[in-house]
Homo-oligomer: A and B are copies of this chain.
């Protein structure tokens, strides 16, 4: 069973235990033979895929009653993967979603590393630091780089922890954020797990 998670810049494929990435730019859907079950947040590729019958959009197989219409399909599929968790998906945005008893309880969106660094740099060149993920978040900062790193990480960290565990981290920056949440599990396969579960429930 071939699965594909389509982002704005890359297609992430999964078949069995194997996963691989392909650039979205210039991607030709006709190059893939056989059935592909996919989710996509990439509007340009959506239009292209519509003409290929072997590409099956999982969007239509989801029971949307527990979610909201404009919620990113990647967030929905991650939620479908768990019964009880706080999901941190760290990519261009950091989305945090709470699932309790298999039910989506709500979630929020925080800027990802690149967007937040640009925000600080845009305020003043004096704030153009890279974030220090090793920072001791129990100490109030007394220098500029720490003041910026703490400002990005500590509020997010506190808010995530407030919702209790278990915390599951996924997304391209999962490994960078993981040390902030000592009890968290990193699960790079979370979206594919959600996709498989949706298929098992519906097919």
- A-side residues, CB < 8 A to B, are 8, 68, 70-71, 92-93, 95-96, 98, 104-112, 115-116, 118-120, 122-124, 126-127, 139-144, 147-148, 150-152, 154-156, 158-159, 162-163
Contact = CB atoms under 8 A, between A and B. Distances in A.
Copies in the complex: 2
Contacts of A108: 140-141, 147-148, 150-151, 154
B140 A107 contact: yes
Nearest to A98: B140
A158 B162 contact: yes
A118 B142 CA distance: 27
25 contacts: A68-B143, A68-B144, A70-B126, A70-B143, A92-B123, A93-B120, A93-B123, A95-B147, A106-B141, A107-B141, A107-B147, A108-B151, A109-B127, A109-B144, A109-B147, A110-B151, A110-B152, A110-B155, A111-B120, A116-B119, A154-B159, A155-B155, A155-B156, A155-B158, A158-B159
Contacts of A162: 158
